[in-house]
Amino acid sequence: MKKCMIWLCLGIFIGFLTHSLWMNDKINPWKPVLEETSFQYLEYSVEDIIKGVQTIEEDLKNSKKEQPDKILHHTMNLLLKLEYYYLPITQVRQQIYDADRLLSLNQVQKAKDNLARAENRLSRIENSNENRVIKKAAARLDTLVKAAILEMDGPREQAVAKLEAAGAYANLMLLKGELVLSGVDDAQSPVK
């Protein structure tokens, strides 16, 4: 009985080992899922909220109520930050991530197109803003995106590294958003 059990265990072990070796030859590379990403629902919501707040703000100015006017002014500033900074940078970050996924799927031209859209968005942020810190941050991210585009036709590892750097910088811009929006330069900031 013991001998039978030993042979059975040995047979199972050999079968498992053979199966493992056979499966290693058939491992497929990772295929990322790529979904069409849109932020239109956020943009439309923000635009509608801003219009509503502007209407209420005008009504309050006519009635000379101070406290609600301050609250509405603060709310309006938050919505403008969302519309002109956080949403565009979030869209750029998503386009960078999608370009990375497209590159993994060997769709180099689509990846380049995604990065070109990110570049266009960054140019609009730079050109439509008076805050020099925002301009500087957007210009730096734009430089990283351009570097990633240039590496697309080269070795994959270099292109992936450039995409990772651009994605990490976009994340940093979002995490340090209030600092960037305040106009405080990184050199003056205690936060690094």
Tens of pLDDT, residue by residue over 102-120, are 998 889 999 999 999 999 9
The answer to whether 174 and 93 are in contact (CB under 8 A) is yes
Residues 6+ apart with CB under 8 A from 29: none
Token digits for 97?
Answer: 């991530």
Q: What is the rounded CA–CA span in Å between residue 51 and residue 123?
A: 26
Give domain status of residue 138, yes or no: yes
Q: Which residue has the tokens 């570097």?
A: 147
For CA atoms 101, 103, 106, 107, the dihedral sign is: positive
Asked if the structure places residue 190 within a domain, the reply is no
User: What is the pLDDT, as a whole number, of residue 185?
Assistant: 54
Domain residue limits at 58: 40-182
How confident is the model at residue 158, as a pLDDT? Answer: 92
- CB 131, CB 183: distance < 8 Å: yes
Domain count, the chain: 1
C-alpha 87/C-alpha 91 separation (Å) is 6
pLDDT, tens digit, 9 for 90 and up, residues 55-85: 877 777 777 666 667 777 777 888 888 888 8
The pTM of the full predicted model, rounded to 2 decimals, is 0.68
Let me know if residue 16 belongs to a domain. no
Question: What confidence tier does 178 reach under pLDDT thresholds 50, 70, 90?
Answer: confident
Q: Which residue has the higher pLDDT, 102 or 191?
A: 102
Is residue 188 in some structural domain? no
Residue 74's pLDDT is what?
Answer: 78
Instruction: Classify residue 184 by its DSSP letter.
Output: -
Cβ partners under 8 Å of residue 121, min gap 6: 88, 91, 92, 95
CATH code of residue 107: 1.20.120
| pLDDT above 80 (res 93) | yes
